Structure 1
Amino acid sequence: MSLFRTPQIVLFTRDIERAVTFYSALGFEEAFRTPEVGTPIHVDLVLDDYRIGLAAESSTRHDHGLDPVAVGQRAAVILWTDDVRAGHARLIELGAKPIKAPAPWLDHLLIAWVEDLDGHLVQVVQAVRPS
């Protein structure tokens, strides 16, 4: 039996409402919010069995005494799809910054990269047949 369970990643953001809107538009559904009324300091979102948390940078500093970094390429959210080109275009339509257009990787994947509105990397991945 494992000591740990239910892994999750938390992304720090300077504008939590904007981040929630972005990831909700990708199909993530809100599973937790605190506080429930007013501007949240933390929101968890779920897509399939994948859970991400969005934490306000200011709250993380104040409440936990930490020094979070809210911009830059520190982690990547990976989204699998059956259509990388459409997924990449949708992310850009929602305001993501294009980093790398869809391109083959290894012999069986097609991948594309963007940065979300806070600069976190988002990779869109599609399994393809080897050529």
Structure 2
Amino acid sequence: MNFFRTPQVVLFTRDIDRAATFYCALGFEEAFRTPTAGTPIHVDLVLDEYRFGLATETSTREDHGLSPVAHGQRAAVILWTDDVRTGYSRLIELGAKPIKTPEPWLGHLLIAWVEDLDGHLIQVVQAVN
């Protein structure tokens, strides 16, 4: 019997509206937000049944007494695509910081790296023959 279910990752952010707008522009859809009016403290986003959350650094400190880090390369969002070069360019158009241009990896993948607006890594991956 599995005791746990529905795993989810939450990324901490200093500007949740900006972060949510960025990921929605990539095709994620908002599935949850609290509070529902005004600036949220938490937003869940979904793409192809994968759900992840965004939480404000301030709320995490004040509401939960934790010490989140809202900058730097602490996690990576992996986005599979059929066209890494176009996906990489789209991310940069939306304000992502280029880290590594598309390059072959493991002989069967093409990958590229950017940082989102809060410094979280995003890897864009394409299977190649």
- Which band: TM-score by shorter chain? over 0.9
Deviation (angstroms), 1:49 = 1.3
Counterpart of 1:102 in structure 2 is: 102
Give the letter aligned to residue 123 of structure 1: Q
Deviation (angstroms), 1:74 = 0.3
Give the letter aligned to residue 81 of structure 1: T
Q: Separation in 2 of the partners of 1:34 and 1:22?
A: 18
Deviation (angstroms), 1:2 = 1.1
Question: What are the residue-to-residue correspondences of 1:1-131 with 2, within 5 Å?
Answer: 1-129=1-129
3-state DSSP of counterpart to 1:90: helix
Task: Please list every run of 5 or more consecutive structure 2 residues that lacks an aligned counterpart in the other structure.
Answer: none
Q: Separation in 2 of the partners of 1:3 and 1:128?
A: 38
List structure 1 runs of 4+ shifted beyond 3 angstroms: none
Q: Separation in 2 of the partners of 1:113 and 1:61?
A: 29
Normalising by the residue count of structure 1, what TM-score does the alignment of the two structures yield? 0.98
Task: Please list every run of 5 or more consecutive structure 1 residues that lacks an aligned counterpart in the other structure.
Answer: none
For these two proteins, the number of residue pairs brought into alignment is 129
Normalising by the residue count of structure 2, what TM-score does the alignment of the two structures yield? 0.99
